[in-house]
Amino acid sequence: MRVTAVGHVEFRGALVEFVLDWAGEPDPQGAPVSFNQGNHLRQHATPGSRPVWLAGSVELAGPALPDGDVAGVDIARVATVIGQVIAEQEALRLRFRCDPEPRQHLFSPDQLQVTPRHAGMVDTDDVVALLNSRCHPRASPGLCFALVGTTLLCGFDHAHADALTIDIVLRRIVALYHDPATPAPVVAGFVQRCISEDARPTMNESADRAAGFATWEQFFAETGGKVPRFPLPLGDVPAATGQATHVRTLLADEDAAHLDDGLFAALLSELAGAVADLGGPDRLATLIPLHTRGRRDSGWHATAGWLVTNAPVVVDGGDRPGARAAIRRAVDAAGIPLPDVLARCAPQLPAGDLFMVSFLDYRKLGPELRGGQHISACSTADDVQIWFSRTHRGLDVRVRYPATATATAAVVGLTDALARRLRQPVPVS
């Protein structure tokens, strides 16, 4: 899976949109939303806000013909498969309302009709306009499915999906398209998960919970009670600064193989070292997103939705054993719900983006998807967010940052320094 942004991809070909028609109204009672959904909906549910969507694309057939036909793709079968996947996943059948607090209302599978609509030849700008019009919190639900030539595109307002959802949906569509008898995965309900989290009782101060809070408290003690910012200069970043995206391959597969044992720890420690190389602090404090689906036998492993929390790490440059220990502590601290962390620690929160460093090993999710891409929208940015992805082809990074000359120099310099460090021999621990 190539992790990228819409400014780094190109679409051109005949468009077939799979229009989603929902009959009637969803469940009127509704259910509470998750912590992440609530924050997103409050920020982006008002008219005029810029869409914040995630999308995935995958190749379903051979190259498109010169006249733009989608020969080799069974459009009727694609429509059927899309309807089946939406029926399996509650997170894809949600309408959101903020009145005044956000709630989610669930459609039943039999309320959906999927109809192919041929829309002629399009380019990337047309595809972006389509995603912007379909994938936002005021849509019902905020989804988009389309073929561009032989490329299947699946778009989601962020309230419906996280990064793993993109992979889950693409894999399921590809499997069903090629073999309609593919068994359905065990999928626990997303809505009930949100209900359970909202109704969680006050937790006793167990040893694990106390240790998790201690990790958070130590983190904020080191950061001065603030959620940390990216530690290198970004220049003058006024409100609504446009987003820039830096995408590159850090290591080819054969060069990355020697790092695979403890790769995220290596990335965090060498990222900290690269920051120090460029004049930043010797210790790097940041948040790392962690999915909350649990292990493969948890029942949530194949559930679509926004199932992510954040956890704290502080690492020293080049200290890979220390980074491994910090990640273990972070995993334990991630078991504490973020509302409890905020209530206990009361940190100073940024007005805009969080500085975060994410990692996902797509090799663990299954065979490589042909032409698979995770594509994010381009919006505004006031801090740096970094996504590392280990794929069957190597180690990649995508960086989202404010579009200033100073920030561009910092980000490019940082990834250059990081690539140099990762190519050095592994230190003996």
- Co-location of 260 and 279 in the same domain: yes
pLDDT tens track for 382-409: 999 999 999 999 999 999 999 999 999 9
- Co-location of 177 and 233 in the same domain: no
- Co-location of 175 and 301 in the same domain: no
DSSP string computed for 147-166: EETTEEEEEEEGGG--HHHH
pLDDT tens track for 292-313: 998 888 889 999 999 999 999 9
- Co-location of 127 and 211 in the same domain: no
**By residue range, what is the domain housing residue 34?**
2-196
CA distance 306 to 36: 7
Mean pLDDT value across residues 63-74: 60
- Co-location of 237 and 267 in the same domain: yes
CB contact at 8 A, 245 and 5 = yes
pLDDT score for 17? 98
- Co-location of 300 and 210 in the same domain: yes
- Co-location of 192 and 224 in the same domain: no
> Which residues are bridge partners to 244 per DSSP?
401
The single-letter DSSP state of residue 224 is T
- Co-location of 170 and 268 in the same domain: no
Count of CA atoms in the C-beta half-sphere (13 A) of 82: 25
- Co-location of 409 and 291 in the same domain: yes
Is residue 398 one of the residues assigned to a domain?
A: yes
CA distance 97 to 101: 8
User: Mean pLDDT over all residues of the chain?
Assistant: 94
pLDDT score for 201? 57
pTM of the model: 0.95
Instruction: Decide which of 160, 177, 196 is a domain's last residue.
Output: 196
Mean pLDDT value across residues 265-281: 98
pLDDT tens track for 12-35: 999 999 999 999 999 999 999 999
Instruction: Decide which of 196, 223, 238 is a domain's last residue.
Output: 196
Is residue 429 one of the residues assigned to a domain?
A: no
- Co-location of 278 and 159 in the same domain: no
Instruction: Decide which of 169, 196, 223 is a domain's last residue.
Output: 196
Domains of the chain: total: 2
CA distance 312 to 325: 12
